[in-house]
Amino acid sequence: MKAIEANYDGLIGPTHNYGGLSAGNLASATNKDQISHPREAALQGLEKMKMLADAGLVQGVLPPQERPFLPLLRDAGFTGTDHQLITKAAVQAPALLRAASSAAAMWTANAATISPSADTNDGRMHASAANLTSMLHRSIEAAQTARALRAAFPDPAHFAIHPALPPQDSFADEGAANHVRLCADHGAPGVELFVYGREAGEAPALRFPARQTLLAAQSLARRHGLDPTRTVFARQSAKAIEAGAFHNDVVCVGARTCLFYHQHAFADTAAMQDDICRAADGLFEPLFVEVAEDEVSLDDAIRSYLFNAMLVAWPGEERLVLIAPDECRQTPSVERYCARLVAGNGPIGRVHFIDVRQSMRNGGGPACLRLRVVMTPAQLKAANGAMRLDAALYQNLKNWINSHYRETLAPADIADPCLLDEGRVALDKLTGLLALGTDFYPFQR
């Protein structure tokens, strides 16, 4: 058996809601204060996982985090019982309570950056939890994310799980959403592409925040022991960030030897291509599939999330499969482009559309919901098997969602302290289903 690429998806948590918390993420801003459907959201995510598991791909599950995150409220000076913290914050600091209640850890493309063992100098897989410092509601994820990664990949002989980079603006890091790995084969040495929006210390020049710094990217490459000749750093274009591409994975996705991206994704596309070709020399021939502005405008690409698709080597299919959101079918230029794409003889042979609408309404497409983890057979064996989706776990999770999740959540419901209790009961059960031990969540300790 050769190395495989697994997808670890975040289970969408019971507090999934539309808080309008992410400046520069147009869907988040547009849907602020809408009524959300946590149960439907979690089931949509679970069905996506099942589809990939049914295809024969390795599918992992990462648990939601506990929300509301009470340490944030305590740090902000609220005191009293857990329920009192929530009711006081709801009156005195509703925006803070919204941030503390976000289920954003569901987007595991932002959980960490992962370098497979074929690329690292000690032959271990390296993962660094992302500090997510750019947004308050996401900056509270890192410690529990590192815990979840250690639970999923426990053996230090195979896996090096690093804590997040220092939680400071110069090190702003949003994980795999700004990282692409190209390779001839998953288990062969590859080229790691890190995309950044600004340099540390650079004065903010844009209306929207650039969430990844070059310093963070370089630090990750150093920590992971990557070969500098096989590592590329490319700057995201200001135009893309201004148009709402708050992460590079909104305008670019890559798999195997193929990089699929919008004409305006990078500040200097020619330099990016040259650098990748040089880094891949002797390993593989990169295939660049660039979508021109006059085929699909940047606005249409961001509205439809064409590039926030999963690009997958599907068992039994020669060409790559693009798993794209349903919204691509509702955007005429994108629908036409997809038809042309698969009719051509390029590296992408099929587009499969899926419904992840509840997540999409917060700016999270299929690619945001998964963290790619390349593992050798020995690493796969060493990974926590209870976090791997099979028919039994699928059924257990479906029952679990159906019995613990609310059907709807309105903005005012965030102030309801019962949500905390319901979440705790649910998460306590989940730790059993995923073999996470009895002290995985802070409330269990």
For ligand SUG, the binding residues (CB under 6 A) are: 17-22, 25, 28, 102, 104, 107, 109-110, 135, 138, 177, 246-247, 249-250, 362-364, 368
Which token pair is 365? 């497409």
Nearer to ligand SUG, 25 or 144 (CB): 25
Catalytic residue, chosen from 247, 262, 264, 404, is: 247
Catalytic residue, chosen from 5, 40, 141, 174, is: 174
Active site residue 183: no
CA distance to 71, 350, 385, 396, 421, per residue, from 428 (Å): 19, 40, 19, 14, 11
Give the shortest CB-180-to-ligand SUG separation in angstroms. Answer: 12
> Which positions ≥6 away from 386 have C-beta within 8 Å?
393, 433, 434, 435
Give the shortest CB-158-to-ligand SUG separation in angstroms. Answer: 26
Nearer to ligand SUG, 18 or 196 (CB): 18
Spatial distance between the Cα atoms of 122 and 116, rounded to a whole number of angstroms: 11
208-247 core/surface letters (b: 16 or more CB in 10 A; e: else): bbbbbbbbbbbbbbebbebeeebbbebbbbbbbbbbbbbb
CA distance to 34, 371, 411, per residue, from 217 (Å): 35, 17, 36
Nearer to ligand SUG, 120 or 308 (CB): 308
User: 114: which strand partners?
Assistant: 127
Q: Are 237 and 222 in contact (CB under 8 A)?
A: no
Active site residue 407: no
The alpha carbon of 135 is separated from its chain's Cα centroid by a whole number of angstroms, namely: 15
Nearer to ligand SUG, 50 or 211 (CB): 211
Q: Which residue has the tokens 């917060």?
A: 362
Q: Are 129 and 142 in contact (CB under 8 A)?
A: yes
Q: Are 322 and 311 in contact (CB under 8 A)?
A: yes
Burial grade of 295 (CB within 10 A; 0-12, 13-18, 19 or more) = middle
Nearer to ligand SUG, 149 or 393 (CB): 149
Which token pair is 151? 């639970």
Give the shortest CB-57-to-ligand SUG separation in angstroms. Answer: 19
Report the SS3 class of residue 325.
strand
Nearer to ligand SUG, 20 or 63 (CB): 20
Catalytic residues: 174, 247, 368
